[in-house]
Amino acid sequence: MAEYLERGVGALRRRTTAATQAGETLTHMHQDVDPTRRYCTECLISGDDIPRQILRDHLLALGVDSLVVAGSASRVRVHGHIGQPQQLFDACAELGQVDAMKADDMVLQQRSAECPAQVAVITDSASDLPAELAERFGIHVVPVRVSLDERDYLERLGLTAAEFYRRMAQSAKLPQTSQPPPGDFRRVFEHVLGYQPAGVYVGLSRPLSGTLQSGESAARGQRKPMLCVDSGHVTVGQALLAWRAGELAQAGADAEAIAAELERLRPLTHTLAMARDISHAVRGGRIPRWAAPLVRTQGAAHWW
């Protein structure tokens, strides 16, 4: 801590590089992180007469570690380490309006510190990248925001896909998604670039969302290169490109080579999708009501 205060983060990076070259085992801030409490979770509660001690006791009963509950009767900041961030957010939502949610994966943060020569790869949760692939290749995933039943959730870290679709079918109002704010990307970018030489963000297709623009905004002004690549896709197409970026990074490719390969692969990647139920697409305006009968008829003929 004294070294950081006196000479800044650069001194810590030089120490890390020297230790790696000498073959030493590095000690990291989350070296002893409990994988069952891998998410460093925070949120802000706004309300009236928020009972901080009751909230603290509830969160401790959930097994939250490194717990901090601080603030006033009307605004409380909560920090804790937990395996399922939504449990913490749900407990807080019982006492007021929950905002400023974040959940950082400390295990992947540790991977960044242990790979000072490897390019970092980041994507967003619209890619639906399987957790096992993110884990295997150390790919960081920035969650998209989902609003459902007048509550905000961090995609993948909140509702499961099954729970999301069940509640969407029962809700009178369609859910809405919103892009992560630039601050969500900036926090991830600054962390990985604090240890790794460069980064590549594989983003959701630009015409579909402003998510890529949020990433580009956060990438500007970074001390090291953070290349933002428009995947031209969503879900599996985007995931395939992020997966390939992770493979290349693990093989030692630099950021420019990874970005160039993704540009080559993008037009060769295709996503096909079929839906048995188009009612939500009609409700949301993606399919005009006048076209719904025709779509249903063609869909039924196709399935038969």
pTM score: 0.81
Q: How far apart are the first and last CA of the chain?
A: 67
pLDDT band at 133 (very low <50, low <70, confident <90, very high): very high
pLDDT at 230: 97
Residue 146 near residue 155 (C-beta atoms within 8 A): yes
* pLDDT (average), residues 165-185: 82
* pLDDT (average), residues 243-249: 98
pLDDT at 301: 40
pLDDT at 3: 76
Residue 92 has pLDDT above 50, yes or no: yes
Residue 145 has pLDDT above 70, yes or no: yes
pLDDT at 304: 33
Comparing CA positions, the residue from 237, 229, 202 lying closest to residue 124 is: 202
Of all residues in the chain, the percent with pLDDT exceeding 90 is 61
Query: For the chain, which residues make up each domain, given as ranges?
Result: 1-26, 33-107, 115-144+179-273, 274-304
pLDDT at 58: 96
Rounded-to-integer distance, Cα 27 and Cα 24, Å: 9
pLDDT at 19: 61
Residue 73 has pLDDT above 80, yes or no: yes
pLDDT band at 174 (very low <50, low <70, confident <90, very high): confident
pLDDT at 245: 98
Residue 18 has pLDDT above 80, yes or no: no
| Highest-pLDDT range among 14-28, 140-154, 179-193 | 179-193
pLDDT at 300: 45
Of all residues in the chain, the percent with pLDDT exceeding 70 is 89
pLDDT at 165: 78
pLDDT at 155: 84
Cβ burial, residue 248 (10 Å; 0-12/13-18/19+): buried
pLDDT at 134: 95
pLDDT at 240: 97
CATH class of the domain whose range is 115-144+179-273: alpha beta
More confident site: 196 or 16: 196
Q: Which of 6-15, 221-230, 259-268 has the lowest mean pLDDT?
A: 6-15
Residue 298 has pLDDT above 70, yes or no: no
* pLDDT (average), residues 203-232: 95
Residue 130 has pLDDT above 90, yes or no: yes
Query: What are 44's strand-pairing partners?
Result: 77, 99
| Highest-pLDDT range among 109-118, 141-150, 161-170, 269-278 | 109-118
Of the candidate CATH numbers 2.40.30.10, 1.10.1370.40, 3.30.70.120, 3.20.20.150, the domain formed by 33-107 belongs to 3.30.70.120
pLDDT at 118: 97
